[in-house]
Amino acid sequence: MDILTEALSSMRTGQPRSVRTHGRAPWGLRLPPVAGAGFHVVLYGTCWLIPLEDAPHMKPIALSPGDVVFLRDGRGHILADHPSTPAEVERPDQFHPGSPIGTVTIGGDGPGTSLLCGNYHLDQGRPHPLVHQLPEIVHLATRHGRHPELSAAVQLLGTELENPRIGSAGIVPALIDSLLLYILRAWIEDQPPTATKGWAAALGDPAIAPALAAIHEAPATAWTVETLAGRVGLSRAAFARRFTAFVGEPPMAYLTRWRMTTAAKLLRESESPLMTVAARTGYGSEYAFAKAFKREYGQAPGSYRREARAA
């Protein structure tokens, strides 16, 4: 069970939106907050990512070719050739027939920078704790041999965008989709191996990782702290302490979270009857499931499904 893939899949609510941004100095672009998570890939040139005035604790970040930035909460920010350059408000996307992304050109006649910018549609109302534990801004450099898979994905994107050919309309969205997994994998692998808490450590722990995989693979199973502890060879108390320290919540709380997350995804994406959704998430009756779902989401499963379909 690939827990990272499962966690992201549970939050996805649509396809990524992306824009190719070309800037020539002097240039500055003010980007508003987005519903989901934002990203930028520097294909060539240099620029700065500058937090807005409502985030005084965050400092401007210098970006170079191959750099990747992931904004966990899609917060608003500025991209510019220099921190002192005035920023224009984001322009409407300029899409062209047959192109998988939009194009924005901005600035004067100085040195050029090319970026792939966009956002992933993620349900931030109930973010998975793996994503919620990320820093507000993840900055990954792919130069000098770091993160070779992420670097390869960036290079492939740059090649397809610079020289579109037959198949590019399908290849580019797939690469952008995969980029999110590469970004999070790179961040997780950057964490110190001595870490004793957090999801990056949990996914590498010989006891907690198998327990998480069991919950994700079979949320309908009548798991208890005892059965999960026995599965990984720990006592009940030792397992509960270790799980809570790594994951940030007790085993049964996480089990309920994952059951409800799975149920919400089934309601959004399938036509399964409520009884089937209840059975697939560990509830013996539609009534018990509906009660648990309303406690977590504040509305009945049927109304949640209708609103999700209408969005």
Q: Same structural domain for residues 182 and 226?
A: no
Is the model's pLDDT at 168 over the cut of 90? no
β-pair partners for 118: 18, 39
pLDDT tens figures, 244-289:
999 999 999 999 999 999 999 999 999 999 999 999 999 999 999 9
| Domain endpoint, select from 129, 162, 190 | 190
Q: Same structural domain for residues 182 and 208?
A: no
| Domain endpoint, select from 163, 190, 217 | 190
Cα–Cα distance measured from residue 224 to residue 205, given in angstroms and rounded to the nearest whole number: 20
pLDDT of res. 23: 96
Nearest by Cα to 208 from 237, 247, 235, 262? 247
pLDDT of res. 214: 96
- For residue 76 the two structure tokens come to 């608003």
Query: Taking the mean position of all CA atoms in its chain, how far away is CA 250?
Result: 23
Q: Same structural domain for residues 295 and 186?
A: no
Q: Same structural domain for residues 173 and 103?
A: yes
pLDDT of res. 281: 97
Decide if 288 is inside a domain: yes
Q: Same structural domain for residues 210 and 241?
A: yes
pLDDT of res. 64: 95
| Domain endpoint, select from 149, 172, 190 | 190
Cα–Cα distance measured from residue 202 to residue 96, given in angstroms and rounded to the nearest whole number: 44
3-state percent breakdown (helix, strand, coil) of the chain, nearest 5: 45, 20, 40
pLDDT of res. 93: 60
- Greatest Cα pair distance, the chain, in angstroms, is 67
Cα–Cα distance measured from residue 251 to residue 128, given in angstroms and rounded to the nearest whole number: 15
pLDDT of res. 35: 83
Q: Is the peptide bond before 127 cis (omega within 30 degrees of 0)?
A: no
* CATH code assigned at 248: 1.10.10.60
- For residue 218 the two structure tokens come to 């079979």
The overall pTM is greater than 0.75: yes
pLDDT tens figures, 27-58:
999 998 888 899 999 999 999 999 987 777 78
* CATH code assigned at 40: 2.60.120.280
β-pair partners for 300: none
Q: Same structural domain for residues 119 and 248?
A: no
pLDDT of res. 97: 62
Residue type, 262: T
pLDDT tens figures, 110-164:
999 999 998 888 887 778 888 888 999 999 998 878 899 999 998 898 888 888 8
Decide if 73 is inside a domain: yes
pLDDT of res. 259: 96
Decide if 76 is inside a domain: yes
What is the domain count for the chain? 2
Percent of the chain with pLDDT over 90: 61
Strands 17-24 and 102-107: parallel
Tell me the average pLDDT of the chain.
90
- DSSP symbol at 12: B
Q: Same structural domain for residues 63 and 156?
A: yes
Decide if 271 is inside a domain: yes
Decide if 93 is inside a domain: yes
Decide if 23 is inside a domain: yes
- Most confident by average pLDDT, 92-106, 181-195, 296-310: 296-310
pLDDT tens figures, 65-119:
999 999 999 899 999 999 999 999 876 666 666 666 788 899 999 999 999 998 8
Residue type, 127: P
Decide if 195 is inside a domain: no
What is the domain extent for residue 233? 200-310
